[in-house]
């Protein structure tokens, strides 16, 4: 049989380190291909501004903490908390300004890439703790080679960081139930999550639900009848007069104290007018405008949004093999849960592990599935569930591998192959099968780069099939990067270009990074431009027709396509 390694020892950490560092290297090598997304443009600008404040904090600390200075620097982008933007700012100062080791955009994106690496590392560790390093190994690879995760892992954004912090917080929580040290760490991690993105408010939902179900046997309903406690009521049904709960774990108490303090402490914007600004932050997200999303041919602008959206999008964007192994893992975990006498090769070190995994997998998706939740961000808004899809995939793979190896051992025994040799053979077979299973995900990820938001997988017929079905082709205007070589070569001197969905800050960064010719000018409108590009999304289609009208031609000069699906045409004005 396969040798199991239940505890995460140094070899496990070494393997996790090798895989995650390898992943970081891959991210760094491929970073330059990916265009600057709309949101990145806002964070680039905010990070520069916050960076100036940190310099002031070192040089003139007393002045820096005054309300005037705090407001001056931290007002920008105050609708989002500051943890990642602080890291972006510090990375920029260290790697770009001081050490001059990297370009500016790279330095701003580096913290996000490191957060992705940390997530890969801990998915490996957590997976390995569930019974075998094979689980950790495949789980981390399944996650690393989700095309859209690979894309987001490059960005100067919050989606991968909040997924990392969600994972770390809940993982730490799992260990915290009997440990003060882990309880404190959990509260710190949740504080950092709060300081990263709004999704963090839902982490306690997972924790509390898990804890209540875990301690369900300890919850007592008391019925006071004739002043006698615990006497059974004579009526068939009576409302309980008291509920005896299990003791509240220390972690929850610390999360109520440490996390909010950390949240406020790390966000200078909240140091003054705290209640008012906190209210403003929450209010912004509670009343967030509805943007639009194209889904199965219909463009949804307002609620009700389709309940099926996160589930269908998950099926359409995750490599099929990952999905199949994940579903296999889920089915077999359910099987072993309802058949406790069956011989389960996985011995979880955590109580009600399956419940914990299910909650983390489904709660982020269910939040988005609610018909009133804005769904403008494609798949990224339920990214915290992706590590759990990968872990179930790893579990599914392990069951599969275990079955194959157990059958092979019968053959080995029959042919008198010694145990040591049989183990080596088993390991080699495991590696070959791992390679076989992960290959489609690697190919999908490679094929999706740098257009992962335009990329769909086998169940939808890949990107051409998805385009025919009427799925969103892109958002954030990031594909402009792939048009720059054409522009640099073909645009007339001092050309004015309409960059459509690309923000000015992204355009500015292309110039700063030397990716766009210096003489190219920004045109805010189609009218007045020499060249106009259009990011093809259903709700922008009329803009392309406006471009025809302005340029006097319906013949694009060039079209950026992904798998033959047009995503970004550019038109040169010919109208005289």
Partner 1 sequence: MSSFYKKLLLLGVVTLGIIPVIETAYHFYIKSSIPTAKEWETVKKIVAENFAKGDLIMIKPEWAEEGWVWLGQFQEIKDRAFTDYRLYERVWLVYLSSFYDISKDADKYGTILKRFSTKNISIIVYKVKDRVKPMYSFIDHFEEAKVYLEDHKTGSKCNYIANNPWRTGISKIVQRGGFECRDRNNTFYIAPVIFTDRSNQPRYCIHILLPKYIKLVIEYNNVPYGKFVTGYLGMHYNQWSRGGYDPQRPPVMMLIETKNSSFLFTITQKEAWKQFLYELKYNTYSNLDIRFLFFSQENKSQESCFTAWVTDTKPKELINVKAKYKE
| Token couple for 129 | 């703790």
Query: What minimum distance in Å lies between the beta carbon of 376 and partner 1?
Result: 14
Give the residue from 349, 352, 353, 360 showing the smallest Cα distance to 389. 360
Which is closer to partner 1, CB of 84 or CB of 487? 487
Which is closer to partner 1, CB of 176 or CB of 482? 482
The C-alpha angle 377, 521, 499, rounded to 5 degrees, equals: 25
Query: What minimum distance in Å lies between the beta carbon of 307 and partner 1?
Result: 13
What does DSSP assign to residue 80?
A: S
Cis previous bond, 242, omega within 30: no
C-beta separation of 129 from 137 below 8 A: no
SS3 (DSSP) at 392: helix
First to last CA, the chain: 78
| Token couple for 544 | 């392309």
Task: Give Dmax over CA atoms of the chain in angstroms.
Answer: 96
Query: What minimum distance in Å lies between the beta carbon of 364 and partner 1?
Result: 25
Give the residue from 475, 473, 471 showing the smallest Cα distance to 503. 475
- Whole-angstrom CA distances from 44 to 39, 85, 270 are 9, 8, 21
Report the distance separating Cα 535 and Cα 541, nearest Å: 9
C-beta separation of 299 from 292 below 8 A: yes
Give the residue from 559, 533, 558, 535 showing the smallest Cα distance to 547. 533
Query: What minimum distance in Å lies between the beta carbon of 523 and partner 1?
Result: 13
Which is closer to partner 1, CB of 22 or CB of 297? 297
Which is closer to partner 1, CB of 185 or CB of 390? 390
C-beta separation of 394 from 172 below 8 A: no
Which is closer to partner 1, CB of 266 or CB of 324? 324
Query: What minimum distance in Å lies between the beta carbon of 305 and partner 1?
Result: 10
Host H or E run for residue 326: helix 320-338
C-beta separation of 93 from 54 below 8 A: yes
Query: What minimum distance in Å lies between the beta carbon of 417 and partner 1?
Result: 21
Which is closer to partner 1, CB of 312 or CB of 559? 559
Query: What minimum distance in Å lies between the beta carbon of 328 and partner 1?
Result: 7
Query: What minimum distance in Å lies between the beta carbon of 233 and partner 1?
Result: 47
Look-up of token digits 């299990």: 246
Which is closer to partner 1, CB of 51 or CB of 556? 556
Query: What minimum distance in Å lies between the beta carbon of 570 and partner 1?
Result: 10
SS3 (DSSP) at 66: coil
Q: Would you tell me which residues interact with partner 1 (CB under 8 A)?
A: 297-302, 319-321, 324-325, 328, 400, 403-404, 433, 436-437, 439-440, 443-444, 447, 457-458, 461-465, 467-468, 473, 526-527, 536, 538-539, 541-542, 545-546, 548-550, 552-559, 561, 563-566, 569, 575
Which is closer to partner 1, CB of 367 or CB of 405? 405
Query: What minimum distance in Å lies between the beta carbon of 467 and partner 1?
Result: 4
Report the distance separating Cα 63 and Cα 50, nearest Å: 15
Which is closer to partner 1, CB of 179 or CB of 561? 561
Which is closer to partner 1, CB of 82 or CB of 457? 457
């Amino acid at each position: 049989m396969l040798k199991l390694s239940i505890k995460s020892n140094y070899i496990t950490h070494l393997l996790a380190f090798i895989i995650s560092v390898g992943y970081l290297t891959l991210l760094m090598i491929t970073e330059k291909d990916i265009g600057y997304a709309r949101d990145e443009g806002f964070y680039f600008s905010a990070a520069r501004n916050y960076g100036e404040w940190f310099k002031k904090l070192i040089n003139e600390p007393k002045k820096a903490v005054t309300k005037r200075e705090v407001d001056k620097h931290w007002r920008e982008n105050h609708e989002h908390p500051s943890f990642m933007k602080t890291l972006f700012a510090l990375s920029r100062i260290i790697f770009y300004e001081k050490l001059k080791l990297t370009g500016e955009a790279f330095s701003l994106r580096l913290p996000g890439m490191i957060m992705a690496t940390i997530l890969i590392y801990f998915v490996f560790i957590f997976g390995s703790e569930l019974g075998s390093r094979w689980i950790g190994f495949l789980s981390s690879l399944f996650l690393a080679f989700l095309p859209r995760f690979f894309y987001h892992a490059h960005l100067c954004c919050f989606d991968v960081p909040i997924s990392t912090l969600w994972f770390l917080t809940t993982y730490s929580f799992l260990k915290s139930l009997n440990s003060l040290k882990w309880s404190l760490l959990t509260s710190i991690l949740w504080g950092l999550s709060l300081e990263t993105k709004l999704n963090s408010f839902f982490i306690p939902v997972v924790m509390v639900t898990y804890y209540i179900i875990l301690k369900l046997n300890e919850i007592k309903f008391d019925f006071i009848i004739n002043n006698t406690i615990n006497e059974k009521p004579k009526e068939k049904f009576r409302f309980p007069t008291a509920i005896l709960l299990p003791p509240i774990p220390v972690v929850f108490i610390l999360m109520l104290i440490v996390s909010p303090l950390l949240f406020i402490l790390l966000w200078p914007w909240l140091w003054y007018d705290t209640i008012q600004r906190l209210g403003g932050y929450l209010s912004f997200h509670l009343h967030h405008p509805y943007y639009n999303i194209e889904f199965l041919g219909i463009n949804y602008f307002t609620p009700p949004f389709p309940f099926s959206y996160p589930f269908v999008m998950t099926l359409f964007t995750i490599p099929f093999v990952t999905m199949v192994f994940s579903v296999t893992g889920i089915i077999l975990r359910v099987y072993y849960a309802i058949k406790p006498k069956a011989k389960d090769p996985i011995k979880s070190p955590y109580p009600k592990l399956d419940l914990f995994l299910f909650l983390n997998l489904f709660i982020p998706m269910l939040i988005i599935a609610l018909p009133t939740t804005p769904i403008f961000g494609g798949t990224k808004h339920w990214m915290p569930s992706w590590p759990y899809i990968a872990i179930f995939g790893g579990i599914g793979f392990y069951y599969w591998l275990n079955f194959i190896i157990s059958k092979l051992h019968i053959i080995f025994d029959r042919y008198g192959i010694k145990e040591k040799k049989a183990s080596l053979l088993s390991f080699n077979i495991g590696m070959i099968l791992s390679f076989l299973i992960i290959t489609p995900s690697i190919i999908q990820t490679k094929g999706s780069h740098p257009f992962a938001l335009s990329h769909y997988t086998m169940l939808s017929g890949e990107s051409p099939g998805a385009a025919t079905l009427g799925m969103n082709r892109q958002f954030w205007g990031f594909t402009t990067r792939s048009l720059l070589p054409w522009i640099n070569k073909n645009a007339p001197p001092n050309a004015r270009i309409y960059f459509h969905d690309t923000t000015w800050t992204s355009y500015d960064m292309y110039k700063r990074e030397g990716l766009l010719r210096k003489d190219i000018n920004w045109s805010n409108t189609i009218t007045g431009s020499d060249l106009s590009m259009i990011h093809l999304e259903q709700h922008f289609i009329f803009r392309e027709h406006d471009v025809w009208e302005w340029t006097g031609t319906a013949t694009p000069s060039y079209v950026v396509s992904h798998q033959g699906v047009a995503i970004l045409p550019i038109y040169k004005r010919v109208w005289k």
